A and B are shown apart, each in its own frame.
Chain A
Amino acid sequence: MVELTTKIGDLVFKNPVTVASGTFGVKDEFAPYFDYALMGGVITKTVTTKPREGNAMPRICETSAGMLNAIGLQNKGVEAFLKDVIPYFRSIDTHLIVNVAGKSAEEFAEAARPFSGEATVKALELNLSCPNVSGGLDFSKNALEAKKVIRAVRAVTTKLLFAKLTPEAENVVSIAEAVMEAGADGVSLINTLVGMAVNLREKRPSLANITGGLSGPAIKPIAMRHVFEVKRKLRVPVIAMGGITTAKDALEFLLVGADLISVGTANFINPMAAPEIVQGIREYLEKEGVKSVGDFRGTLKL
C-alpha cells in the first residue's frame, strides 16, 4: 500500500488531494457522487463577513480548454456558514480549509476570527486574489498589502494560513516570500487569470462583468511555472491548482514539488474528478514502485 499522507506544519492530510475554492459548492453538492472522506481536504467557497449577492448574469463562459467565470463571491456570509456548513463537516473525516476574503486587512481578520475556535476548521485560505470584485486582486499584487492581511489574520488565529495568490503579480515569488514572512504557513498557487470573451452574434461581452477569471486546463502551464519557481526559490508549503483535471496532471505538480494539489474547474466536467485523481495517484506510485508520495514529491530532474 502506497503511503499518501502529507504533512504541513502539524497537520497531516490523508492524501495530497483537495478541491479548490469556489469549485466544490458550499456543502453537500457532490455528496451524492462520492464520500468526501476519500479526499485529503476540502477548501470551501470564499466566505465573507456579510452575505454577498455576487455579480449579474451571465457569469460563466466556455473557452478553449477552460472557462471564464465572474461569480463575484456570492455567499451567505460567515454567520450562516457557521450555522449551516460547519456542522455538516463535523462528522466528515477530511480536513476542512475555510477560504475567507475581505475588502481590507481588518475585514479579512473579522471573517477569519469566528473560525479560529472551530476544531472542525483545520486551516484557513485567504483569498488575496479574486479577480471579480473591485480591489480583490490588489492584495496579492502588492507585497505590503498582502503582508498587512496576513498579519491581521495571524493576530486572531493560530490555524494554518494559506495565502491564495494571483499569477498576475509582477513577481509572484516575492509576494510569496512576503506573506511567509508575515506569518503565513504556505501559499496556494494559482488563482484564475483575468480574461475576456465576446459574443459576436450579440456584439456584447460574454460576461455581464465584462472580464472574468480564466480557469481549466488552459492555465495549467502557467500554474506549473509558478509552483516550480516558488518551490525552488523558497521551499515553502504550496497547494497547487490551475487546470488539474486528471491524476497525470496532479502527479506532474507533485513532481515539481507541490505539497497538496487542488482539483478545481475539473469538478464541473467530472463530479468524480477528485476521488479518481486520488486513486490514479495511488495506482501510479504502486506501478512505479514508489513507497510514499513523499518519496516522489519534488523529484523533478533538472
Chain B
Amino acid sequence: MRKERIEVVENVGVSQSFYRLTLRSSFIADRSRPGHFLQMRVSESYDPFLARPMSICRVRRDLVDILYIVVGAGTRVLSSIKPGMKLDVWGPLGTIFTPMPKKKLIYVSGGVGVAPMIFLASQMPVEAFLFGVRTAADLLPLSELGIDKSRLHVSSNDGSVGEKGYITDVFDRLAKNMNPREYFVYTCGPDPMMRLIVKTAKEKGLSGEASMEEVMACGVGACLGCVMDTKRGRITVCHEGPVLPFDVLTW
C-alpha cells in the first residue's frame, strides 16, 4: 500500500447533483475491488483538514472513477479541482464485497451509495438494481450507471422520477418473491435505508452484505474514530469494514 500524489484526469458533472472525478493511478487501479475506498485529501491546505473517504465507482485501465455529490466543505473544494491538478491519495482501503456469481444478485443503493454498487454490478450479473434518490436531480444517466434499463428500479422521495416513495418499499415488494437460497443482496446507502433493507432481508432469511458509511479520520484503523458495535464486537468501520455481512450487524 502506498500514498501517492495522483493526477486528476477529469472532474465533471454527470447529473444535476453528481460529479465524477477520474484519477490516474495504475497502482490503485490494479488493486481496487468493489467495496474498496480511497482516502483523499482535497486540498494541500489545512482546510479542510482531514482526508475524505471515497468509494471507488469504476476502474478503466489505469483510471479510477469516484462519484460524489457536493454536501459539505470537502466535496465543495473537490468540485473546484481542475484536470491536471494533483491530490494526495492512499488506498485502496477496507473490506470488499464477496462475489456471489451463482446467486441472483439484488443491488440496493441510496444516493451517493450507488458508487460501489456500480463497480460491483460492472463485474457481476444483475438480477435487479434498486436506486433510491431524493429527487430527479440526484439520478444518474444510464450511461453512468451501466445497468440494463430492464433491471433498474428507481424511486424518489418527491416522485419526480421513478416511483414516489422510498427504495426500501420497492425492496420489500420484490423480496416477497425471493427464495433465500437463490438470492443475495448487496446494499450501500444512508444508515436508515440500510437498516430497513437488512431488517427485511433478515425477516425473509436473505443473506447479503452492506457497506457502512461513517465519518473517518485515518482510514487505516489507527485512530479508532469510526468504530461500531457488531456481533464480532467493537470494530473499526474503515479497516474491519466498511463491507460487512448482514449477519454480523446487530440491526
Q: How far is the CA of A83 from the CA of B88 in the complex (A)?
A: 36
Contact with A along B223-240 (1 / 0, CB 8 A): 111111000001000010
**Separation of A217 and B3 alpha carbons in the complex (Å):** 21
Interface residue range, chain B: 20 to 34
Kindly state whether residue B94 has any CB partner on chain A within 8 Å: no
Give, as a whole number of angstroms, the nearest-CB distance from A80 to chain B.
13
Q: How far apart sit A74 and B90, CA to CA, in the bound complex (Å)?
A: 25
| A interface residues, tally (CB under 8 Å) | 34
B48 within 8 A of A: yes
Which residues of the partner chain A approach B2 to less than 8 Å between Cβ atoms? 32-33, 272
| In the complex, A6 has a CB within 8 A of chain B | no
Measured between C-beta atoms, what is the minimum distance from B201 to chain A in Å?
24
Cβ of A53 and Cβ of B46 under 8 Å apart? no
Q: Which of B46, B48, B218, B224 contacts A59 (CB 8 A)?
A: B224
Could you give, for residues 240-270 of chain A, a 1 whenever the CB lies within 8 Å of some chain B CB and a 0 otherwise? 0000010000000000000000000001111
What 0/1 pattern do residues 22 to 50 of B give for CB contact below 8 A with A?
00000000000000000001000011111
Interface string of A259-297 (1 = CB under 8 A from B): 000000001111110000000000000000000000000
Are B47 and A65 in touch, CB under 8 angstroms?
A: yes
Q: Are A29 and B220 in contact (CB under 8 A)?
A: yes
Interface centre among B214, B217, B221, B223 (most CB of A within 10 A): B223
Nearest B residue to A54 via CB reads B224
- On whether the beta carbons of B46 and A23 are closer than 8 Å, the reply is no
Q: Is the CB of A71 within 8 A of B224?
A: yes
- Contact residues in A for B226 (Cβ distance below 8 Å): 57, 59-60
A228 at the interface (CB under 8 A from B): no
| A90 vs B221: C-alpha distance when bound (angstroms) | 22
Among B49, B218, B220, which residue has its beta carbon within 8 angstroms of that of A65? B49
Knowing A33-B3, A57-B227, A60-B217, the reply to whether A65 touches B222 (Cβ < 8 A) is no
When distances are taken between beta carbons in the complex, the residues of chain B under 8 Å from A64 are: 46-47, 49
Contact A270 B88 (CB under 8 A): yes
- Which A residues touch B197, using CB under 8 A? none
Interface string of A158-174 (1 = CB under 8 A from B): 00000000000000000
Q: Quick one: CB contact mask for A48-74 with B, threshold 8 Å, 1 for yes?
A: 000001100111111111110101001
A117 within 8 A of B: no
Whether the pair A268, B234 counts as a contact (CB closer than 8 A) is no
With A and B bound together, what is the CA distance between A60 and B48 in angstroms? 14
- Chain B residue numbers with a CB within 8 Å of A60 are 215, 217, 223, 225-226
Question: Which among A23, A29, A53, A271 is the interface contact of B90 at CB below 8 angstroms?
Answer: A271
Q: Is the CB of A53 within 8 A of B234?
A: yes
Interface of chain B, helix or strand or loop or mixed? loop
Interchain CB contact under 8 A, B223 and A23: yes
Tell whether, in the assembled complex, residue A25 and residue B49 are in contact, meaning their CB atoms are under 8 Å apart.
no
Q: Which residue of A lies closest to B46 (CB)?
A: A65
Please give me the residue from chain A that is nearest to B90 by CB atom. A271
Q: CB within 8 A of B49: which of A53, A267, A269, A272?
A: A269
Distance between A52 CB and nearest chain B CB, rounded to angstroms: 10
Q: Verify A59–B227 contact, CB threshold 8 A.
A: yes
CB distance from B52 to the nearest CB of A (A): 10
Prevailing SS type, chain A contact patch: loop
B72 to chain A, nearest CB (A): 10
Give the nearest-CB partner of B225 in chain A.
A60
Give Cα A64 to B49, complex, Å: 7
Indicate whether A30 sits within 8 Å of B220 (C-beta atoms), given known contacts A53-B234, A59-B227, A270-B3: yes
Does A216 make an interface contact (CB < 8 A)?
A: yes
Decide if A33 touches B1 in the complex (CB within 8 Å): yes
| Interface flag for B51 (CB, 8 Å) | yes
Which of B46, B50, B215 is close to A268, meaning CB atoms less than 8 Å apart? B50
Residues from chain A with a CB closer than 8 A to the CB of B220 are 25, 29-30, 271
The reply to whether B222 and A24 contact each other, CB–CB distance below 8 Å, is yes
Q: Which residues of A contact B218 (CB under 8 A)?
A: 25, 29, 267-268, 271
Q: Are A74 and B50 in contact (CB under 8 A)?
A: no
List chain B residues, Cβ under 8 A from A69: 217, 223, 225
The answer to whether B3 and A271 have CB atoms under 8 Å apart is: yes
Q: Closest residue of chain B to A272, judged by CB?
A: B3
Instruction: Apart from A57-B226, A65-B49, A74-B224, list 16 A-B contacts with CB within 8 A.
Output: A23-B222, A25-B220, A33-B1, A33-B3, A57-B227, A58-B215, A60-B225, A62-B48, A63-B49, A71-B225, A217-B49, A218-B46, A268-B50, A268-B51, A268-B223, A271-B220
What are 24 A-B pairs at a CB distance below 8 A? A22-B223, A25-B220, A25-B222, A29-B218, A29-B239, A30-B220, A32-B2, A33-B90, A59-B226, A62-B49, A62-B50, A64-B46, A65-B46, A67-B217, A71-B224, A245-B46, A267-B222, A268-B51, A269-B49, A270-B3, A271-B3, A271-B90, A272-B2, A272-B3
Q: Which 4 A-B pairs have the closest CB atoms?
A: A32-B1, A25-B222, A60-B225, A65-B46
